[in-house]
Structure 1
Amino acid sequence: MASPAHDPGPALDQDGVRLTVDDAIATVTLTNPAKRNAQSPALWRALAEAGRLLPGSVRAVVLRAEGKSFSAGLDRQAFTPEGFDGEPSFIDLARGGDAELDATIAEYQEAFTWWRRSDLVSVAAVQGHAIGAGFQLALACDLRVVADDVQFAMRETSLGLVPDLTGTHPLVSLVGYARALEICATGRFVMAEEAVSTGLANLAVPADQLDPAVHDLVSAILAAPRDAVVETKALLQGALTRDYEAQRTAERAAQGRRLRDLAGLGE
């Protein structure tokens, strides 16, 4: 996406993450293409901080990555005895108490949770490899536009682990339990055509058209009134857990709020 002429500079640029804000649109970019945007606890903290730094004017967040790969997943240094500088190794975490281990994983997950806030619509622009933690980061967003060279894979199970960065819920919601299990248990690649046909991706385009396609999608979202989009997103998110009658009730309440607001009677 083109930078604005009055570019104020990044609001955050550290540990492989850059956040820029242009009025209603924030862009979060993974900036370590030399390592295929491999992920680490420091990167996860930077992603969580990006979410905290968003000003109230932001309505849409674009997640993108520099280079040929969106994210090749967890940096393999995590599996060495030394781990990352200044961080407990995964081996050290495993040797600690249950409460400490749970709290650490919960902290890591914070990088993946804010993308589905009801006041935002998040769009991931995904090219090349999106493996493991990279796949889960794309799944953290509301929508996904993929390049025709995309390769999703959930490799945690093949490493003796499970996907624990909030990816299992959206994956099952998008493709169903049986296909989600098969994707995770086999660790196979999911290419662009299958991603679109199963609902994993909203749209696939040639790689050189990825940013323009995301720009067009975000522009279309921003064309609708903000409060209507917020209410609609909340309705659709709630539909996953409400039964039919409860959803009908929620629709009536939301529409009542919208009508009162449009009539100038809102609180």
Structure 2
Amino acid sequence: MTSKALNQDGVRLELDAEQAVATVTLDLPERRNAQSPAMWRALASVGRSLPGSVRVVVLRAEGKSFSAGLDRQAFTPEGFPGEPGFMELAGYSDERVDAVIAEYQEAFTWWRRNDIVSLAAVQGHAIGAGFQLALACDLRVCAADAQFAMRETSLGLVPDLTGTQPLVQLVGYARALEICATGRMVHAEEAERIGLANLVVPGEQLAGAVGDLAAALLEAPRDAVVETKALLRGALSRSFEEQRGAERGAQARRLRDLAGISD
């Protein structure tokens, strides 16, 4: 049994009965879940409103495509009502442009929090902002028809919704550069081979595979998962000696917790 906690601007949030698993659904299938600033604000609101009991967040999408990227309305002279268009942004000061893009990025940042494990279920197209939203999650399970592409560079822009770092971490600098600079499609089979996808399954098995993985992620004690995620996320930015120290500190906290000894 699930409860609906939010449904606005193409984003739906549902919680399971224990409020341990939150499912975030992109719900604009008629527009192939194209993204807009309104959708980004709704996604950011989801991150702020999650109950503290949530351990796993599943990101999925209705329809044939995960997300076709930024809504094409953004590329028209009118843009989105009440939002600065590309040409208007170009006339802003550096500080103001930075503030606008930083607000948009909030929709893509909270998925990496150490207190949750985020899991994207990807079918069909994940283009541009859709690709970056999938990259925002810790894990990706893909249907066999999934196709990723980073089209921003082909449009004269850059990926600016937090996707560049996880892409490099997952596939390496050279492959990330090639994917971004060419804007080509990365199909599901290749995505699994290069480490972009954790698992690829037939489309009809996607929901079941995601459910099984979410259940498996709930098996270990929560605090152990939180500490482990923090260790792994910090590993690339620390020296070997620093990582050894971080492991010792984390293990000491776990031992005290298991023994019932408070700090």
Q: Which TM-score applies when normalising by structure 1?
A: 0.97
Match of 1:213 among 190, 206, 209: 209
Residue 198 (str. 1) matches residue 186 (str. 2): no
1:96 is aligned to: 92
Q: Measure, in 2, the Cα distance between the counterparts of 1:88 and 1:188.
A: 29
The Cα shift of 1:111 comes to 0.2
CA deviation vs aligned residue, 1:30-59 (integer Å, no higher than 9, x gap):
000000000000000000000011000100
CA deviation vs aligned residue, 1:86-139 (integer Å, no higher than 9, x gap):
212121111111111110000000000000000000000000000000000000
Residue 160 (str. 1) matches residue 156 (str. 2): yes
1:229 is aligned to: 225
2:145 is aligned to: 149
Match of 1:179 among 175, 178, 184: 175
Name the SS for the 1:73 alignment partner: coil
CA deviation vs aligned residue, 1:52-95 (integer Å, no higher than 9, x gap):
11000100000000000000000111111110112121211111
1:16 is aligned to: 10
CA deviation vs aligned residue, 1:143-198 (integer Å, no higher than 9, x gap):
00000000000000000000000000000000000000000000000011111111
RMSD of equivalent CA atoms: 0.7
1:38 is aligned to: 34
The answer to which of 173-182 and 14-23 deviates more is: 14-23
Name the SS for the 1:228 alignment partner: helix
Match of 1:63 among 59, 67, 88: 59
Matching residue's letter, 2:9: D
Match of 1:122 among 118, 135, 148: 118
Identity of aligned residues (%): 76
Matching residue's letter, 2:70: L
1:85 is aligned to: 81
Residue 27 (str. 1) matches residue 32 (str. 2): no
Q: Which aligned runs of 4 or more in structure 1 are off by greater than 3 angstroms?
A: none
Matching residue's letter, 2:63: G
Match of 2:129 among 120, 128, 133: 133
- Gaps of at least 5 residues in structure 2 are none
Q: Measure, in 1, the Cα distance between the counterparts of 2:220 and 2:262.
A: 19
Q: Measure, in 1, the Cα distance between the counterparts of 2:259 and 2:206.
A: 40
Matched length: 261
Matching residue's letter, 1:28: V
Q: Measure, in 2, the Cα distance between the counterparts of 1:46 and 1:265.
A: 41
- Contact 1:79/1:91, CA 8 A, preserved across alignment: no
The Cα shift of 1:266 comes to 2.8
Q: Measure, in 2, the Cα distance between the counterparts of 1:191 and 1:252.
A: 40
